[in-house]
Amino acid sequence: MTNIFMGYASKFYQNQFNIGITKPSRLEIHIQHYLDEFELPDPEKLNHVCIWFDSENGMIGAYINGEEMGPKSYPGYVVHGGGSLILGMDQDRINAGGLNPNECYSGTIDNFMIWPRVLTHVEVLRIGAFCECPVDHAVVMTTDRVEMWGKSSYSVPTECPLMVV
């Protein structure tokens, strides 16, 4: 997979959870051996993407610019905690092991958040349209613990990028 904008590795699985863009307009999600794809309307424009999965019930889906894609069934692989998450690059081993410059993301990530639950459709719409984010997030972009390689830059958004509704 190339153009990966999020890679997560754990001690249980080296490519546990990856999200990237393949082909000009495909959003690709890998959870262990499972692969699913969703169509991006225009990868050159700002897209509000919310990916969700429920390992307990074996379901996965996405919201792209507020439109629900899925749900689809998947094998229900569990994403184990305690690993390392990298934005903009695939890692082939935990703690940034096996970084390959050919697997870098080229583009802008305006915001990145993870919740420990599946958000409701209304919550996803409120995030994209009004920047009203549920406060029980597990991961959010911050300015601490940032490492950069190559020609990259990093900043935390001062304004929330709104999707066009």
Question: Whole-model pTM?
Answer: 0.80
41-45, 139-143, 154-158: which has the minimum mean pLDDT?
Answer: 154-158
Domain boundaries, the chain: 4-140
What fold is seen in the domain 4-140? Jelly Rolls (2.60.120)
Query: Does residue 47 contact residue 109 with C-beta atoms inside 8 Å?
Result: no
Q: What is the pLDDT of residue 123?
A: 94
Residue 25, C-beta contacts closer than 8 angstroms, at least 6 positions apart? 39, 40, 41, 42, 43
Q: What is the pLDDT of residue 163?
A: 61
Give residue-wise pLDDT tens across range 71-84.
Answer: 999 887 888 888 88
Q: What is the pLDDT of residue 7?
A: 87
Q: What is the pLDDT of residue 124?
A: 92
